[in-house]
Structure formats: C-alpha cells, structure tokens
Amino acid sequence: MHPLVRLARKAIEEYVKNRRVIEPPEELTPEMKQQAGVFVSLKKHGQLRGCIGTFLPTTENVAKEIIKNAIAAATQDPRFQPVTEEELDEIDYSVDILSQPEKVEDLSELDPKHYGVIVSKGFQKGLLLPDLEGVNTVEEQLRIAKLKAGIHPDDPDVDIYRFEVKRYH
C-alpha cells in the first residue's frame, strides 16, 4: 500500500475507533511535503462509500490535507452515513493529488479520462475527478460538475478549469 493511502487509512481507522485525529508521520515522503489539493475516496465492494477533498491546498502540506479529507470522507460526506468500525476492513482507499487548476478556453482542451474539471459561476462551484467509471464524454463530465454546483446543466455561462491528478491506491 502506498504511503499516502496508508496515511488515509490510518487516519480513518484511528478516528472511527477512537475519535482521535492523528498527527502526520515524523518522516514525510516527498509527496507529503508539497502543498496541493487532495481528494480521498472510499469504496466498499466496488461502490462509492465516501469522497471528500479540496481542489486547492487548505493546510501546510499534503500529509495534513490527507488526514483532514480522509476523516471527512469517512464521516462528513452528506451522501452517506458515517463509516462504522465494523466496515473498516471492507473499505478500499484511494488518494488523488491535484495539480493547480488551469482555466479552459475551449472544450477541446478537456478529456474526461485525463483531466478533472471545476465549473464555477459566482459562488457556485462543482468539481469532478477524472477517469471516473461511466463518465466518458466532456459533455457528461461538465453536466455532472454543473449539477454538483447547483448550476443548470444547460447554462453555458460558467468558468471551466481543468486539473490533473496523481491517483494512489
């Protein structure tokens, strides 16, 4: 298991079992030292069980970002009940480290297998990670991101950003 994924798992297990937020490891890997947005995704039997993240860094390093977002994915995703101690052995974890978002001027710059998207209109923002099962077209990716943001799917008046991820399992 990759050290980033191991950190997410340890953070969730310690929080679910003991309601304690762990500290980052004393020896940080190079990836853990950088600043970046991070998403932590949980799956149970192949089905999404929680996914929370940040598209820009909110803490001083990736290690702290993973700990914060892992606990949130397990306990604060509004689509799911909090993860229970009994479920911990059934959870598969993935950690996505996001590149800096860049504004898209033309839809030809998008590719749902390679880039994630952020759509923005005023205070409404929606994000969709890349390479998600069942999301095969740019139009579908943007439609879902707009719905997540509370923006009408046919509204053309949005800012679009793309980003890349490094995904760890």
User: CB-hemisphere CA count at 13 Å for 24?
Assistant: 17
pLDDT value for 126 = 95
pLDDT for position 114 = 96
Q: Is the pTM value of this prediction over 0.85?
A: yes
Q: What residue ranges of the chain have pLDDT lower than 50?
A: none
- Tens digits of residue pLDDT in 88-124: 999 999 999 999 999 999 999 999 999 999 999 999 9
Domain with CATH 3.30.700.20 in the chain: 3-98
β-sheet bridge partners, residue 51: 41
Q: What is the pLDDT of residue 31?
A: 94
CATH 3.30.1490.150 domain residues, the chain: 102-168
Q: Of 136, 137, 149, which Cα lies nearest the Cα of 107?
A: 137
Reduced to 3 states (helix: H, G, I; strand: E, B; else coil), residue 133 is coil
Per-residue model confidence (pLDDT) at position 4: 98
102-168: in CATH 3.30.1490.150: yes
Q: Using an 8 Å Cβ cutoff, are 82 and 71 in contact?
A: no
Topology (CATH level 3) of domain 3-98: Glycoprotein, Type 4 Pilin (3.30.700)
The mean pLDDT of the chain is 96
The per-residue pLDDT for 79 is 94
Residue 24 Cα to chain centre, angstroms = 19
Instruction: Compute and round to an integer the Cα radius of gyration of the chain.
Output: 16
Identify whether the C-beta of residue 62 lies closer than 8 Å to the C-beta of residue 35: yes
Task: Return the pLDDT at 86.
Answer: 98
Contact 97, 31 (CB under 8 A): yes
Check residue 100 and give its pLDDT. 94
Q: Which residues pair with 53 in a beta bridge?
A: 39
Q: Which residues contact 30 (CB under 8 A, 6 or more apart)?
A: none
Amino acid at site 153: P
What single-letter DSSP state applies at residue 71? H
